[in-house]
Amino acid sequence: MSAFDTTMSADSARYSTGPEVYLRLLKPRVMSLSVMTALAGMMVAPGHLNLALGLIALVAIAVGAGAAGALNMWWDSDIDGHMARTRLRPIPAGHVQAGEALGLGLILSFFSVVTLAFAANALAAFLLAFTIAFYLVIYSMWLKRTTPQNIVIGGAAGALPPMVGYAATSGSVTLDSALLFAIIFVWTPPHFWALALVKQGDYARVDMPMMPNVKGRPRTKLEILAYSIALAPLGVAPYFTGLGGAVYGLVAAVGGAIFLGYAWRVYRSDDGVEANRIAMAMFKYSIGYLFALFATLIGERTVAFALGWL
């Protein structure tokens, strides 16, 4: 770490106790993906939700996802300070105390679930509460530090938002919403393991049993490829069930093929700087891929609604 970095973090510790630090506890980037997928779930679901209630429900889901992030940062504050990727998070950087993150997470969890229950329905509220509890207890507290399958099973928490959104509009859980869940669930392991290949040293430092550290890099690359082979057709499936239209089918097919291409290049790569570059590129692409799928679902429905008004 350069002297410049040290100065930066010391300064930010002194000056950054403003509200934006609490916003950072909510993991805004993870939140944005949850909002996106939840909105897609709300829009593709059958049934009708008043526009104002829909917006409130969406905010509630976003805040609930943020609350889960704050609770995760509270629990992981002991290890976050030892990893380059997370050492500037608000708690290890000294901007807020762990107890504050816990308090913020609990309060926001409570109000987001209650608000969703009133704005939408009890099923959606239950699913949101389940998502938060699963992320904190099953993933953060239990699996994350004990098994290389941590992010596979823990990925269920990240995969639930479209199901929450779908339930908010329709009041039900169906095969269609399970399909949206499945896409994110299968997407999570190759997404995370691509990053884990690059950040292997970080995870080793805190004894986190990520796949590359436990089973080795070749096995990780093989599993990335295997999950990607499952993901590419799964991404196209909503086109065949009628959830997505022709544009979605095209985006999912092309996007899935590129995803597979990245997985193949990661699989074939040797270990070294170049391999890390490809893995990092795959990690970044995977985020764009998921965004593109759900953005297309939203776009298609928006156009359909707009045409319906004309």
Partner 1 sequence: MMAAPTDIRAPALTPEQLRNRRRRNIAIALAIGALVAFFYTITIVKLGLNVLRPDP
- Site size for partner 1 (CB under 8 A): 15
The gap from C-alpha 294 to its chain's centroid, in whole angstroms, comes to: 13
The gap from C-alpha 278 to its chain's centroid, in whole angstroms, comes to: 21
What lies within 8 Å, CB to CB, of 260 at 6+ separation is 228, 229, 232
**In the complex with partner 1, which residue's Cβ is closer, 30 or 53?**
53
| Residue 229: CA count within 13 A, CB half-sphere | 8
**In the complex with partner 1, which residue's Cβ is closer, 15 or 309?**
15
- Structure-token match 């928490």, residue found: 157
* Residue 144 DSSP SS3: coil
**In the complex with partner 1, which residue's Cβ is closer, 40 or 117?**
117
What lies within 8 Å, CB to CB, of 182 at 6+ separation is 159, 234
Distance between CA atoms of residues 69 and 27, nearest Å: 6
CB of 158 to partner 1, least distance (A): 25
**In the complex with partner 1, which residue's Cβ is closer, 14 or 29?**
14
Regarding 22 and contact with partner 1 (CB under 8 A), the answer is yes
CB of 172 to partner 1, least distance (A): 20
Regarding 9 and contact with partner 1 (CB under 8 A), the answer is no
Regarding 17 and contact with partner 1 (CB under 8 A), the answer is yes
Q: Residue 225 in contact with residue 211, Cβ under 8 Å? A: no
**In the complex with partner 1, which residue's Cβ is closer, 129 or 186?**
129
Per-residue x/- mask for partner 1, residues 102 to 141, rule CB under 8 A?
A: ---------x---x--xx----------------------
Q: Residue 112 in contact with residue 102, Cβ under 8 Å? A: no
Q: Residue 61 in contact with residue 116, Cβ under 8 Å? A: yes
Q: Residue 109 in contact with residue 68, Cβ under 8 Å? A: yes
CB of 108 to partner 1, least distance (A): 9
**In the complex with partner 1, which residue's Cβ is closer, 77 or 115?**
115
Please report, as residue ranges, which positions from 212 to 251 form the binding site for partner 1 (by CB under 8 A): none
CB of 292 to partner 1, least distance (A): 31
Q: Where are the beta strands (DSSP E) in 169-220?
A: none
Distance between CA atoms of residues 28 and 22, nearest Å: 10
Please report, as residue ranges, which positions from 46 to 65 form the binding site for partner 1 (by CB under 8 A): 50, 52-53, 56, 59
Stretch that binds partner 1, among 29-37, 45-53, 184-192, 244-252 (CB under 8 A): 45-53
Regarding 272 and contact with partner 1 (CB under 8 A), the answer is no
Which residues in this chain contact partner 1 in the complex, by CB under 8 A? 14-15, 17-19, 22, 50, 52-53, 56, 59, 111, 115, 118-119
